[in-house]
Structure 1
Amino acid sequence: MKFAALLPALALASALMAQNPWKNATPPYPHARTGGNYMQNYYLPPAASTPWRPAFSPDGEWIVFSMAGSIWKIRIGETTAYELTAGSTYDSSPVFSPDGSKIVYTADEDYEAINLRMLDLKTGESHALTQGSQVNLDPVFAPDGKRLLYVSTQPDGWYNLYAMPLDAAGNPGQPLKLTADHSYHNARLYFGAEDLHIQPTISPSGDEMILVSNRDISLGSGGVWRAPVEPNAMDKAKLILPEETLYRTRPQWSPDGKRILYSSHRGTQFDNLYVLPVNGGEPYQLTFGDWDHFEPSWSPDGEWIVYVANEHGLSELRLLETFGGEERPIEIRQRVYKRPMGTLAVTVRDGRTGPLTAAKIMLTAADGKAYAPSDAYHRVGARALFLDFFHTDGSFELDLPVGEVELLAMKGFERVPVKARPKIVEGQVTRVELAVERFTNAKARGWYSGSDHVHMNYGGNLHNTPENLMFMAAAEDLDVVGEKVANKDNRIFDYQFYNGAYDEQRSTSDRLLSWGEEYRPPWYGHINFINLTDHLLSPFTTGYENTAIESLYPSNTDMFRRARKQGALGGHVHPYTDPPETVGYANARTFPVDLALGSFEYLEVMTGAMYAKHTARVWHRALNCGFRVTPSGGEDSISNLHRNPAIGAARVYADLGGKLEWSRWLDAIREGRTMITNGPLVWLKVDGEGPGGEIHLPESGGSVEVHATLESAFPVDRLELIFRGEVVQTIPLTDGRHQASWRGRIPVEQSGWFTLRALSDNAVYPIDDENLHAETAAVYVLKGDQPIRSREDAEYFITWIDAITKQAEQHPGWRSEKEKAHVRGQFADARKIMVERAAGR
């Protein structure tokens, strides 16, 4: 294939490797030092294409909210929304001043910092209240309008509350810090040691506040506290609601001062609205439904509540009558913009003359911001380039500011991405047709792609469905979707869809859907089950501090064995982003135990490039000890979070013999006929045998003929043939480093295995990962009766088992000596096997 002839735009994309033409690849919000990806998804305001963070005006006649990166207002009972801000920042979280003359809002500066700004509604001009590289959130006015409470990571990256004085013109004074840094006795799961102090709401009298904090709380983002508005407020704070929250609470003090309104999941899959007395008590539920109810806010008279619902998938504004229960949708049928706008209409075809096809779209307008249609979920990558994107069914239309647009469409790894730069003209429709051209067809080889690590719902802003999941898979050209039911703390998501492993009803001849489980114990490390045919395995996790399941019993080995009784395949997932020995063997901690005991079938080598870099080394050591472990892939996409890898960003290809069937997929995983990748495609034959195959040589050894092939839409830097973990042949690249084909003979003097690996040194646009990485499963070569063994690698695993045995002994959660002895016995049995392997047996 000649990429320059096929699609000239790709030459530009290739030249941009390790770059994003729209923004740099700075990690998001580098000065926010707690919470990580979950904090960014559940707490920080998203650049949503649909409405978010609504609030009433003081006269109760208008709703102000964020949408498409701007602040908007709409009069209650009408359907026309008016844009109030328009600039280079993603604006959100608007609140009116008590006199209704101003609005304070958050301004997200390209996912690096968030600052507060004040809009004068009379002049339409905004000015800064905070500046710099920190994160500033949750603005709320004091009743007299002379102070603004807010959250900031200033100065050291931890979330604390501040009170900012304001003069009559809205100019800020010196902020007063209301809460102080405070540490828990250990690093809490997903939240770390430093406490959060977030989401303040102020009393009608202005001298008290209610906030969310995990002060002295082991799990979640914290309980709800009542405290004075003064420095060191937590010293006098009272916990009024002990609950394992997840950033969604957003308490709102009622206008009459007697209760708070807030959002809570209360251990279920969905968030609903509740009220609670301000002194504490029993929560009372206001909304009901198998969808989320977020971001509530009182009307000035307390008779109505405005909130965000995702019943139909994307967020929408709703009004709820406090007494009576009437619900009203707030429909937006027309938008009046603050700036000149035009319309972009795009179609995407499969080939230049093919039908419309689903695809992934990356779009940045002339103002430097990313946009998505109002019927699409605006997403952001989370690995390296942090590119904004959305999925389309093949046709979309949206309004954009005038000027040049950066537009790219891509569909999986077997078609060439296509780029265009249309120009938006005020009041006109600009039409663009894009064609994603296929350059190879893995199915013609008998290979099909899949992701075995996908989550549909996980507390995110989107209410996802199996149908939408399959649509996203089509846009990413993914043949097999391995959805995993899983816990998030005390919640279990999507269990109601499980009805045996293979979803025959929703699968098609082109795409398969299965329901499995991710079992998520923090001490042992997470594991996946494929093909649980009878039931899901509870309690879905072990080792959670301060719960009735804090014990390390049962072990992962026990759960693998239970799953296998149902005919399931098991594997360790998202294992290592560092050499295991440098981080206390955290993540997939008991991998060598399960390896020696033969309790699982596969290892998720490809979750992302950084995982693959370090996990592949552990996998190679396992192969060198004679254990046959299938490499698998899955990006751990949480598909209803907006900031997360796209489904199929990391995938496994499997040799199904030319027919897409569930039983063939299972056989391929079980037998090691796979290849893992985040972009390049690599194919390997050794004496005619592909991955999973076995070649027998005489006792004297000999040589094997190798045929190695690379096909890639994205340029790689190296293509390497590996034997027993060492590079034995670097293969020349052709066609701008997109292709390679090599045949040669390799001498074999000891039993071992071959794989073929492709790598780039850096990120390659538009793949959102640290670098490109692809590798085949092993082809085994046996010299006579000699087993595949390595003393060095077996001893590495022995050291590992010894270390985690000591760690397990010291764990505080055991319920009995019997439990501890059971797990200790498994570790000891595994060690004996590794000692045998070290001895060459």
Structure 2
Amino acid sequence: MRSRRRRHRHAVLAATLLLAVTGVIGVAAAGREPVLKQVDLPHSYYWRELYLPQLTTGPSSLSFMPDGETLVYSMGGSLWRQRIGSDEAIELTHAKGAYDYQPDVARDGRSVVFTRYDGTGMELWQLDLGKGRARALTHGGAVNVEPRLSPDGKRIAWVSTQGTGHFNLFVAELGAEGLRNARLLLGERRSTIDRYYYSPFDHAINPSWSPDGQSLLYVGNPEVAWGSGDLWTVRVDDPTQRRKVLAEETSWSARPELAPDGKRVLFGSYHGRRTQQLWLTTLQGAAPLPLTFGDSERRNARWSPDGKRIAYIGNAGADGNTSLMVMETVGGASQPVQAKTHRTLQPTTQLTLDIFDESGQRVPARVSVLASDARAYAPADAWMHADDGFDRARQATETHYFHCASPCSLEVPAGATDVTVQHGFAHALWQQRLQLAAHKSTPVRVMLEAQPLPREFGDWIGADLHVHMNYGGHYRNAPAQLARQAQAEDLDFVENLIVNKEERIPDIAYFGTRTSDDPDRPRIAHAQEYHTSFWGHLGLLHLRDHYLTPDFSAYRHTAMASPFPHNGVIADLAHAQQGVVGYVHPFDTVPDPARDAVLSHQLPADVAQGKVDYIEVVGFADHQATAAVWYRLLNLGFHLPAGAGTDAMANYASLRGPVGMNRVFLDTGGRLDEAVMLDALNAGRGFVSNGPLLGLLLDGQKPGATLRVDTARKLHYRVALRSPVAVDHLELVHNGQVVKRFDLTGDATNNHHRFDAEGDLAVTQGGWLLLRAWNDGADPQILDLYPYATTNPVWLESSAGVPDARGDAAYFVAWLDRVIEAADARDDYNDAAEKRATLDYLQGARAIYQRRAEGK
């Protein structure tokens, strides 16, 4: 995975480098910026999902009222109050265009503090429970989360990015006038070790008060390379008095909390397991013991005021959605707190969507509903998802969406409601503004319009080669649920790449299994992603024997710090069990051997040595930057097929894109069989896309074929474009240069979304030719950097030869010089033999490019 923040920051640089490489420039993702861009941390898709509150239809966080019998909790972006044993939830807050999370009730029961997100930042608010009035406590647009009131209610602790962009502990006095004397408790500190998944600056998160109000428990990560930190305690009035309570591999949501008696510390941990459970230790750091067990998650736990109960958020239900549970501390008897009825602050209505395809058959689909209160809604049992970026000039907050198994019903406020329905790439978007009357059910029949490619261009299946079914997110996914997600996206095949998240591998039990051959359901295969922050990540498909371990290498400051095995070794191990090897999410910017501070990506070495079967040209990277590198490899005659994968964490609420957002369309004759699919992938018979559908015939030959070029005549081309969104550019590219631009001006319905053309093209040299489509900027309906699609090449043979590619070879020589330099500088190989084998492999690849650069 890559840092989404970095991708947005360097989009223009990537486009500028493309000008030098390919003669084409596209200003990628114009206007689109990350959600909560003020947070200055790498790998936003981790901390945003695992740490910051997200919009879910089920409960997400909670606090006990003083009676120990009533809870205040967040659900659907509002705060609710509900008595344990009752089935009615009473809405306490409902802000237009904003969502409320993380309540903490004062010990006297008169008020609750909470976090409010409005698309700009997260601020602290306080609600007077008697008067129903809310006031803002913080201002300025920072990210302020995890508010916790001291036992006497006179002070508040929270986590804020104010002033630094990093997560730090703050404390302040709280009175009638609001906050006073707000201060940074621990200060900024930069660790002496390097960290890949975490900022070089330490963070302090997950605060909770001691019963006497003198100290805070929290999670901090000074000199911690692996995980989000250890459990610490600090005296609030003397921050120099702090000590480590427990060394623990936490993952953003340990949230330690002392029992009311001050003796036991409750916290959440994976602790080497696949799921997060509740654990107990002491302030003296006694050996932690688990309090809960099982295959579902438990998080955000709180003690009741008397310590006899623990309430937490789980996802054990059949649908894998979040749920609120209350457990007896002694005995473990548990009961759900379910809201079967809702007493809302404003009138609501029921909206029912019934979705049909062009043949009149009901189909599931992806749906976005934005109601009259400028908030997103979904059915109570649906998983709400959120995009990871948006254009502030066009939207107030990021797009939220859910998958509707038609028909589906949801409760929304009355008034004007915007609905968008999408079912894959071969159907037009359905969008309408509905006027919904209060207390009246409104059925809506949605008829989707098909816009497939003409059959002569291919008989396609669509596959997402890079999905993570479970990855520590809010929801609990399973193959049947993943198949439903894929079906709603009109996707035929999903490769679930099982991989580690720190010390756990959530889906390891599914490795090697396959779904049934039900012709009406997408196929799910459980494969592997191989992690290394040094060489680049690999997708390992169709492994026939065993999962490759360790699942990572080159992780600094661990027992697996050695850069060996490098990716070439892993590729050989995968091929030995009939696996298919691809490079995933390759490049956020075009690598520059002369300027990059460090360059260790191993792709060109492995391509030269014949280890790579495909590359994710469309994936969790900058598509044009990746294509620029891909073009150079194609120029050198490497038949490297394009693949595509979303890198979707499919159990996340803050999903970086729905399953199938980035997909490869493969011409299999319509056969939905993994072996046939992988054969088509290896042969380059298809195209990759995040929206536009492309068809290319060159003298009747499809992508992946080889065509003899006759210099005495022109080649006849046929092209087709179908797209759910408008497309700016459609081009034929020959050996990296645009040789034909199609005019897409005029009527948008006919020319931007649907286009057909044919003609003749004078091509005298050999090499390759492909068709690509792309946009200058982002489109809010494509939840990616910008719309982009490309076919695989048609290969051309000619007596006139191919263009001079010595410059491309020299580029990779310079690249590998930097890789060799980086590999040689590592001092953490396990032995000299590992280092020698690695450097010999890289030198051998460099020699291949050197001979090409010399024209040999």
Match of 2:17 in 1: none
Q: By how many angstroms is 1:771 displaced?
A: 1.8
Match of 2:484 in 1: 471
Aligned residue type for 1:808: A
Give the distance between the partners of 1:506 and 1:299, measured in 2 at CA.
49
Q: Does 1:264 align with 2:269?
A: yes
Aligned pair partner of 2:419 in 402, 407, 428: 407
Give the distance between the partners of 2:68 and 2:112, measured in 1 at CA.
15
Give the distance between the partners of 2:330 and 2:243, measured in 1 at CA.
29
- Measured against aligned partners, the alpha-carbon deviations of 1:281-314 in whole angstroms (never above 9, x if no partner) come to 1111110001101110001110110001101200
Give the distance between the partners of 1:524 and 1:820, measured in 2 at CA.
14
Q: Find the residue that maps to 2:378 and give its secondary structure.
A: coil
Q: By how many angstroms is 1:171 displaced?
A: 2.5
Superposition pairs of residues 119-268 of structure 1, within 5 angstroms: 119-167=127-175, 169=176, 171-230=178-237, 233=239, 235-268=240-273
Superposition pairs of residues 449-598 of structure 1, within 5 angstroms: 449-499=462-512, 503-505=514-516, 508=519, 511-581=522-592, 584=596, 589-598=601-610
Match of 1:621 in 2: 632
Q: Does 1:306 align with 2:311?
A: yes
Match of 1:371 in 2: 377
Equivalences, count? 812
Query: 8 Å contact 2:732–2:772 — kept in the other structure?
Result: yes
Match of 1:768 in 2: 783
Q: Find the residue that maps to 1:808 and give its secondary structure.
A: helix
Moved more, 238-247 or 719-728: 238-247
Give the distance between the partners of 1:448 and 1:585, measured in 2 at CA.
41
Match of 1:98 in 2: 107
Aligned residue type for 1:301: D
Q: By how many angstroms is 1:657 displaced?
A: 2.3
Q: By how many angstroms is 1:443 displaced?
A: 6.8
Q: Does 1:116 align with 2:124?
A: yes
Aligned pair partner of 1:686 in 677, 698, 713: 698
Query: 8 Å contact 1:443–1:658 — kept in the other structure?
Result: no
Moved more, 577-586 or 260-269: 577-586
Q: Find the residue that maps to 1:764 and give its secondary structure.
A: coil
Aligned residue type for 2:438: E
Give the distance between the partners of 2:597 and 2:170, measured in 1 at CA.
40
Give the distance between the partners of 2:390 and 2:691, measured in 1 at CA.
14
Q: By how many angstroms is 1:587 displaced?
A: 8.3
Q: Does 1:361 align with 2:367?
A: yes
Q: Which runs of at least 4 in structure 1 moved beyond 6 Å after TM superposition?
A: 585-588
Query: 8 Å contact 2:189–2:201 — kept in the other structure?
Result: yes
Q: Does 1:40 align with 2:48?
A: yes
Flag the 1:402–1:206 CA change in 2: closer, same or farther, 3 A.
same
Give the distance between the partners of 1:276 and 1:156, measured in 2 at CA.
32
Moved more, 119-128 or 374-383: 374-383
Match of 2:854 in 1: 839
Give the distance between the partners of 2:670 and 2:101, measured in 1 at CA.
50
Q: By how many angstroms is 1:357 displaced?
A: 1.0
Give the distance between the partners of 2:309 and 2:791, measured in 1 at CA.
59
Query: 8 Å contact 1:525–1:587 — kept in the other structure?
Result: no
Query: 8 Å contact 1:82–1:335 — kept in the other structure?
Result: yes
Q: By how many angstroms is 1:425 displaced?
A: 2.0
Q: Find the residue that maps to 1:194 and give its secondary structure.
A: coil
- Calculate the TM-score normalised by the size of structure 1: 0.94
Query: 8 Å contact 1:118–1:129 — kept in the other structure?
Result: yes
Aligned pair partner of 1:331 in 338, 349, 374: 338
Match of 1:604 in 2: 616
Q: By how many angstroms is 1:747 displaced?
A: 2.5
Moved more, 382-391 or 720-729: 382-391
Q: Does 1:50 align with 2:55?
A: no
Match of 1:280 in 2: 285
Give the distance between the partners of 2:671 and 2:151, measured in 1 at CA.
67
Q: Does 1:291 align with 2:296?
A: yes
Give the distance between the partners of 1:63 and 1:19, measured in 2 at CA.
46
Match of 1:14 in 2: none
Q: By how many angstroms is 1:27 displaced?
A: 2.4
CA RMSD, aligned part only?
Answer: 2.0
Moved more, 396-405 or 360-369: 396-405
Give the distance between the partners of 1:577 and 1:75, measured in 2 at CA.
50
Match of 1:4 in 2: none
- Measured against aligned partners, the alpha-carbon deviations of 1:334-370 in whole angstroms (never above 9, x if no partner) come to 111122222222211113x612210000111111111
Alignment identity in percent? 32
Match of 1:27 in 2: 34
Give the distance between the partners of 1:505 and 1:556, measured in 2 at CA.
32
Gaps of 5+ in 1: 1-17
- Measured against aligned partners, the alpha-carbon deviations of 1:192-244 in whole angstroms (never above 9, x if no partner) come to 2011111111111111111001112112211110111136x2x4321111112
Query: 8 Å contact 2:35–2:390 — kept in the other structure?
Result: no
Match of 1:7 in 2: none
- Measured against aligned partners, the alpha-carbon deviations of 1:521-573 in whole angstroms (never above 9, x if no partner) come to 11011010111011111111101112111001111000001101111110111
Q: Find the residue that maps to 1:538 and give its secondary structure.
A: coil
Aligned residue type for 2:322: S
Query: 8 Å contact 2:600–2:819 — kept in the other structure?
Result: no
Q: By how many angstroms is 1:26 displaced?
A: 4.5
Flag the 1:29–1:62 CA change in 2: closer, same or farther, 3 A.
same
Query: 8 Å contact 2:498–2:528 — kept in the other structure?
Result: yes
Query: 8 Å contact 2:709–2:764 — kept in the other structure?
Result: no
Query: 8 Å contact 1:526–1:587 — kept in the other structure?
Result: no
Give the distance between the partners of 1:443 and 1:220, measured in 2 at CA.
50
Q: Find the residue that maps to 1:416 and give its secondary structure.
A: coil
Q: By how many angstroms is 1:510 displaced?
A: 5.1
Give the distance between the partners of 2:517 and 2:675, measured in 1 at CA.
16
Superposition pairs of residues 712-751 of structure 1, within 5 angstroms: 712-733=723-744, 735-751=750-766
Match of 2:16 in 1: none
